[in-house]
C-alpha cells in the first residue's frame, strides 16, 4: 500500500499517470488531496498545501501545518488498513512538499513504514529521539530551481546514520523523469 502525496498547488490527480506507468498491479496506491490553505510564499493565495511555506530557503518550518497533515494522513492510513485481513506493507511517497511531509511523518509517527520515497523534497525537521531504520530513497534534480539540490542534501545529512538511506540525483529540474520512475519501481519491488 503506497500513500503518495502531491506537491504544493497540485492535487491527487497529478501522479495518476506515474502510478499507471509504474505498472505494479499488486500494489494499492492511495493519492490524497492536501487541504486548501493560504501559502505565505505565494502572497497568501489559497491553494492545496500540506503546510505553509514562507520562503524558498525552507528555514522557517510550519510545524502546526506539518502536524495537522501528519494526523490527517495517519488517520487515512488507519482507515485504509482497518478493513484489511492481512496487513500490507506500508510505503510513503511524495513529491516536493509531499516528499517533505512523507519524511516528517516517518520520523514523528508511531506507524512502522516499509519504505519512504522522497522526490524533489527535503527533510523539514529531525527527531533526535527516533532512529529511522526503514529504507528511504531520496531523488533530486541537479537543476531544481524550486528546492535547491544543496538545501535537500544538507537536510538529508541528518539521515546519514540510517544505513538504508539512498540519495540519487539526475540532470533534471523540479520534475519526475522516466529513469526516476524505474528507480521507484525497483525500490518498491525490492522492499515489498
pTM of this structure: 0.94
Instruction: Answer yes or no: 169 catalytic.
Output: no
Instruction: Answer yes or no: 174 catalytic.
Output: yes
- Residue 7 cell numbers, joined: 506537491
Of 52, 69, 102, 144, which one is the catalytic site residue? 144
pLDDT digits (tens, 9 = 90+) for 93-104: 999 999 999 999
Of 11, 109, 169, 174, which one is the catalytic site residue? 174
- For the beta carbon of residue 186, count every other beta carbon within 10 angstroms: 11
Of 52, 62, 69, 96, which one is the catalytic site residue? 96
How much of the chain, in percent, has pLDDT values that exceed 90?
Answer: 79
Radius of gyration of the chain (CA): 15
pLDDT at 132: 63
State how far the Cα of 174 lies from the Cα of 159, in Å rounded to an integer: 22
What structural domains and CATH numbers belong to the chain? 2-190 (3.40.50.1820)
Q: Are 79 and 130 in contact (CB under 8 A)?
A: no
pLDDT digits (tens, 9 = 90+) for 108-155: 999 999 999 999 999 998 766 566 678 999 999 999 999 999 999 998
Instruction: Answer yes or no: 96 catalytic.
Output: yes
Amino acid at each position: 500500500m503506497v500513500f503518495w502525496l502531491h506537491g504544493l498547488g497540485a492535487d491527487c490527480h497529478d501522479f495518476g499517470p506515474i502510478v499507471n506507468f509504474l505498472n505494479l498491479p499488486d500494489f494499492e496506491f492511495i493519492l490524497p488531496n492536501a487541504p486548501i490553505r493560504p501559502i505565505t510564499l505565494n502572497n497568501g493565495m489559497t491553494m492545496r498545501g500540506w503546510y505553509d511555506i514562507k520562503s524558498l530557503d525552507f528555514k522557517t518550518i510550519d510545524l502546526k501545518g506539518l502536524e495537522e497533515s501528519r494526523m490527517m494522513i495517519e488517520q487515512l492510513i488507519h482507515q485504509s488498513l482497518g478493513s484489511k485481513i492481512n496487513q500490507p506493507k506500508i510505503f510513503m511517497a511524495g513529491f516536493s512538499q509531499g516528499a517533505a511531509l512523507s519524511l516528517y511523518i516517518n520520523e514523528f509517527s508511531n506507524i512502522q513504514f516499509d519504505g519512504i520515497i522522497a522526490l524533489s523534497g527535503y527533510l523539514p525537521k529531525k527527531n533526535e529521539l527516533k532512529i529511522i531504520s526503514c529504507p528511504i530513497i531520496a531523488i533530486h534534480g541537479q537543476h531544481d530551481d524550486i528546492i535547491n539540490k544543496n538545501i535537500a542534501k544538507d537536510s538529508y545529512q541528518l539521515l546519514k546514520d540510517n544505513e538504508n538511506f539512498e540519495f540519487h540525483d539526475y540532470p533534471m529540474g523540479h520534475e519526475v523523469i522516466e529513469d526516476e520512475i524505474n528507480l521507484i519501481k525497483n525500490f518498491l519491488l525490492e522492499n515489498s
